[in-house]
Structure 1
């Protein structure tokens, strides 16, 4: 990768760039990200003001290498723990490992190291082989003779034979997509050691395919007992090829900029969905859909009908075995450990509680990130006619391991369930 000036800003931070630091192509790509609400770019008489939103990661432009660091609640190696938790991928190596040490390379190198670790494990176990059909021109007969090709192309000559073979090879899509992802990872890293290791491992995989083709194949991949051990490696490969996106976490949609960007609010929603679901499993709870028959819809207005959908809707057991209680849970990537819950969020959660909880015990849950320990407080919304509902505001300490947070969340949701 050519030398570029590195510019580092924190989440929600800003920086000034000179006019010569951005090319017209860079401006076009940044405008595309601005359209998606990921950052803002303002032209000044002396250059540009670039302001980051709730997006972290790496963006490689023509003349600069922009690193957006997580500053809000999740940082460094712990970000990778929570990302792996949201992806349901294997836990990363301990932070004492040289591959996972948090350094100036940042988030992109950590993801590249995760891919490298999984690919090395696949090589140790042996790459999967499958039958691949080939048409070859050989000096001796191997496989089956292609009679039609032999008569129309060789005109009876027997010095070379057109053959059809069907052999077990490693040149299959399960392996080729990883070769592509390893090549992409090399373009994002600035660590010489990591780049060297990625190149060495990439040489052991079949030739890479175009990134768009590889991503299309990954999205269509189905796992069986034959390739289930590839799931973790494919998870990190998909993350790299999508530029940081994990399904709805895609941040650079519509732009061809090289980079690895992660939208923190979408990541937090993915974390809360799994956190809430895992926390209620021990006492018979599970997540259900909040659309269709269980949705809250607004009809009769101008335009298309709208809907209220919590990030997670939990179905919980009641004292009566024939009855199930519903508990709406919403993820908020906000500093509710330092400020009160906004009026718009109170209105939203009251709508959820009115729609899903009984009128005599209306309740809903907000889950937000924080540091310095977990927290739990209850907002009681009163009116002249009595209590409108209770909103449980749950702060999850993102400096802890996800498994520890799950255990704590289990007790809180049990209390919120009443």
Structure 2
């Protein structure tokens, strides 16, 4: 196959692609991703116009290798650190720390390297084994004799016996899903040393019949003291096998296209939820559900009722009363380090304030990514008779560590 043409795009940028560069299968894949909100493909007079949305990653097509870069220019090591934090997986190894903005290996190599490092660590410590039922033909009774098979296949001959045994083998689902993910990472890897290591390591693992079977096994897995060391490797395997899910980083939407794409707003929301949860716990509070009986519902209009739901709702102890106060927090994946908060977001936060915040402290929080330093500014919405609400706009430095970010969020919540 000829070398694929590489096209690089930032979030919300567009590029023209010649009609000869996309096969019919490529067009079907891109339209499937368009249906999920990851990008937009429109025809023009001489070919196609491709526009990226808030999605980053690598998309491998038949003749094109599309690299979608984040608008915040997050270095590779930091992108992986925040991704690991959002997935509650251990911080990746040094092998994954490649500069995202300049390295031509792209984002997929980062995930593949993280998976490879975890799998190699498992091999060094020894793969988990469990009892596996097997049907064998043996010269003596070992396990349980399969009487029906012996009578119908050997016709009374006793030189070979059909037996059923239970032996401790590494051919179990914990290992199969990793072998399948290592194999799936091979077409994504551009670095030849990485590709060689993936191939060698994949040979040491058994494989699932299909990637779909591996994903179903990952959905069923429950971690105990016997397999908890597999958790990190399974997190990277799940991300690779679900490559192409562009509306939820943890949901499989079926449009894989041999790619690895992440919806950055969903990733940022996951980061903010964990940051706020840890910060609230440090302040003696906790996160509470923002739906059901505690939801904000609009009724009486045409059609079904609608709801307003903040990304995180925090319950914090009040100083002068035993009744805890509620604080709505919303994650915004926007460049609020360069622009003012939009009117739509102000209206949205005022709705949360009216629904959740106490009258004496009508407060809400916006948390957005900000490269180069933490920021904290305060918006006050004032009416002719009273103050309608206070919105704290908190910028989290994406170049900082998650622990540092938790400290900043904790101070804001206090």
Contact 2:332 2:367 in 1 (8 A): yes
1:11-410 matches, cutoff 5 A: 11-72=11-72, 74-93=74-93, 97-102=94-99, 103-243=103-243, 245=245, 248-249=248-249, 253-320=253-320, 322-410=322-410
- Rate the CA distance shift 1:9–1:372 in 2: closer, same or farther, 3 A: same
Structure 2: runs of 5+ lacking an equivalent: none
Query: Stretches of 4+ moved more than 4 A in 1?
Result: 244-247
How far residue 252 of structure 1 moved from its aligned partner, in angstroms, is 7.5
Structure 1 residues 59 and 25: alpha-carbon distance in aligned structure 2, compared to 1, 3 A threshold: same
1:200-238 Cα offsets, whole Å, 9 max, x none, are: 111111134310010011011111111111111111100
* CA RMSD across the alignment: 1.7
Q: Distance in 1 between matches of 2:304 and 2:337?
A: 36
Contact 2:275 2:406 in 1 (8 A): yes
- Alpha-carbon distance in 2 for matches of 1:153, 1:49: 64
TM-score by length of 2: 0.95
SS in 2 for 1:287: strand
Counterpart contact for 1:73–1:398, Cα < 8 Å: no
- The size of the alignment, in residue pairs, is 411
Contact residue 244 and residue 251 of structure 1 kept, 8 A: no
Shift of the alpha carbon at 1:299? Answer: 1.0
With 134-143 and 395-404 compared, the bigger mean Cα shift is at 134-143
CA distance in 2, matches of 1:44, 1:187: 31
- Report how far residue 73 of structure 1 moved: 5.2
The answer to whether the Cα contact below 8 Å between 2:37 and 2:247 also exists between their aligned partners in 1 is no
Asked if 2 retains the 8 angstrom alpha-carbon contact of 1:328 and 1:364, the reply is yes
* Counterparts of 1:385 and 1:378, CA distance in 2: 20
TM-score (norm 1): 0.95
Q: For structure 1, which runs of at least 5 residues remain unmatched after alignment?
A: none
Q: Which range moved further: 363-372 or 205-214?
A: 205-214
Return the alpha-carbon distance in structure 2 between the equivalents of residues 123 and 6 of structure 1: 35
Given that 1:299 and 1:306 are in contact with CA atoms closer than 8 Å, whether structure 2 keeps it comes out as: yes
